[in-house]
């Protein structure tokens, strides 16, 4: 498949200059003599963080080749994306809007999205429980039971609000158990609960940054398939928020993002020195920390996962595309429901 590669270029060194030189990308790092070049055809996307210059020629060329360019803030917040001559797919978008207006159809999709998320959260807890010490195992198993009960309730949920409520409670149970399966280095402050805007401990800082990476991956998948990332089923319509991207992220958060972050800490790939503690209490990744995380993410994306319904192994980086296609087929009336991806 030539259209589906996994070579995304992430640039985060502030002040880097990217230009087009015929069919290659020329990279100028500030304060670093010499330059690097990359053949453009080997790249299927460019993601830049903060103050990075892209020449207009490069941007237009990427637009022409449908090679998306994503702008993130320096700290990893999603800002914007350019996707070239849009695959407008107006019929699909129309179907998306119609389904959104149909309460029953919308509820069906929202419910399944959340079921996927809770199943995957539960999978993480059960996996961790298998090789944890007895005390920790108890915590993880208890939370897994709570999640099982949530899935049960979910099957009878009759409104999006109820679905949202179940999702919120499940997330609290799940995050309460995470510290027990996380073995951070002793020099790191403990992770107690999920917080953001801004994160106040290293684990939350790493989670927030990784959610940004995941969001850009999912957003791109939706664009690629021709779905409108701003019209969601679970998250509905939220001005300025890509609600469908947030929807589709849900099922991937536990396995692709949380587990990824846990692994980085458990393996001591992320250490205290990778974080800045700002006055007032906010914590953010240092440039080195981000570099570490992005490098690991690139590798993580190539790791394959079984996809029971597609009947094959799919690299993590392409799972969102496969799921976006399944959603599209459901919206067009070709599949009887949306089936989330669940880890096994």
Return binding residues for Mn(2+): 167, 235, 250
Q: How far is the CB of 295 from other proteins (least distance, A)?
A: 28
9, 47 in Cβ contact below 8 A?
A: yes
Q: How far is the CB of 65 from other proteins (least distance, A)?
A: 10
- Quote the CA–CA distance of 31 and 231 in Å, as a whole number: 44
Closer residue to other proteins in complex, CB, 80/86? 86
Q: How far is the CB of 52 from other proteins (least distance, A)?
A: 28
What stretches of the chain adopt beta strand conformation (E)?
Answer: 8-11, 17-21, 24-28, 36-39, 45-49, 53-54, 69-72, 78-82, 275-277, 283-285, 304-307, 312-315
Closer residue to other proteins in complex, CB, 21/152? 152
Closer residue to other proteins in complex, CB, 114/246? 114
Binding region: 167, 235, 250
Query: To 10 degrees, what angle do helices 287-302 and 259-266 make?
Result: 120
| Sheet-wide strand order for 36-39 | 36-39, 24-28, 17-21, 53-54
Closer residue to other proteins in complex, CB, 207/328? 328
- Quote the CA–CA distance of 321 and 222 in Å, as a whole number: 7
Closer residue to other proteins in complex, CB, 50/340? 340
Distant-in-sequence, close-in-space partners of 76: CB < 8 Å, separation ≥ 6: 49, 208, 209, 212, 213, 285, 290
315, two tokens: 């690299």
Burial of 197 (0-12, 13-18, 19+ CB in 10 A): exposed
- Binding stretches for other proteins (CB under 8 A): 1-4, 87-89, 91-92, 112, 115-116, 119, 122-123, 126, 129-130, 148, 151-152, 154-155, 225-226, 308-311, 325-326, 329, 332-337, 339-340, 342
Q: How far is the CB of 336 from other proteins (least distance, A)?
A: 6
Closer residue to other proteins in complex, CB, 277/329? 329
Q: How far is the CB of 155 from other proteins (least distance, A)?
A: 4
Q: How far is the CB of 299 from other proteins (least distance, A)?
A: 24
- Quote the CA–CA distance of 299 and 293 in Å, as a whole number: 10
């Amino acid at each position: 498949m030539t259209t589906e590669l996994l070579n995304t270029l992430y640039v985060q060194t502030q002040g880097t200059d990217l230009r087009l030189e015929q069919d290659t990308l020329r990279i100028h790092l500030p304060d670093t003599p010499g330059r690097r070049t990359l053949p453009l055809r080997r790249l299927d996307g460019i993601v830049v963080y903060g103050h990075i210059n892209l020449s207009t020629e490069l941007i237009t060329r990427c637009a022409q080749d449908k090679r998306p360019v994503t702008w993130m803030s320096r700290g990893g917040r999603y800002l914007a994306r350019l996707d070239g001559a849009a695959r407008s797919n107006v019929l699909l978008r129309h179907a998306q809007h119609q389904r959104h207006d149909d309460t029953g159809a919308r509820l069906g999709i929202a419910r399944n999205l959340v079921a996927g998320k809770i199943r995957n959260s539960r999978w993480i807890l059960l996996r961790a429980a298998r090789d944890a010490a007895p005390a920790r195992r108890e915590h993880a198993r208890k939370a897994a039971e709570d999640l099982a009960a949530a899935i049960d309730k979910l099957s009878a949920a009759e409104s999006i609000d109820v679905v949202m409520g179940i999702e919120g409670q499940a997330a609290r149970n799940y995050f309460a158990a995470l510290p027990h399966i996380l073995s951070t280095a002793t020099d790191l402050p403990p992770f107690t609960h999920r917080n953001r805007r801004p994160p106040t401990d290293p684990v939350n800082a790493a989670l927030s940054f990784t959610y940004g990476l995941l969001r850009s991956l999912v957003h791109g998948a939706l664009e690629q398939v021709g779905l409108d990332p701003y019209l969601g089923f679970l998250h509905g319509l939220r001005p300025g928020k890509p609600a469908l991207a947030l929807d589709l992220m849900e099922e991937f958060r536990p396995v692709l993002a949380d587990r990824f972050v846990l692994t980085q800490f458990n393996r001591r790939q992320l250490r205290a020195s990778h974080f800045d503690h700002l006055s007032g209490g906010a914590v953010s990744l240092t440039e080195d920390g981000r570099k570490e995380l992005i490098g690991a993410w690139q590798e993580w994306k190539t790791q394959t996962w079984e996809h029971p319904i597609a009947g094959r192994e799919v690299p993590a980086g392409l799972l969102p595309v496969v799921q976006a296609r399944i959603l599209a087929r459901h919206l067009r009336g070709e599949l009887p429901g949306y089936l989330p991806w669940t880890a096994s």
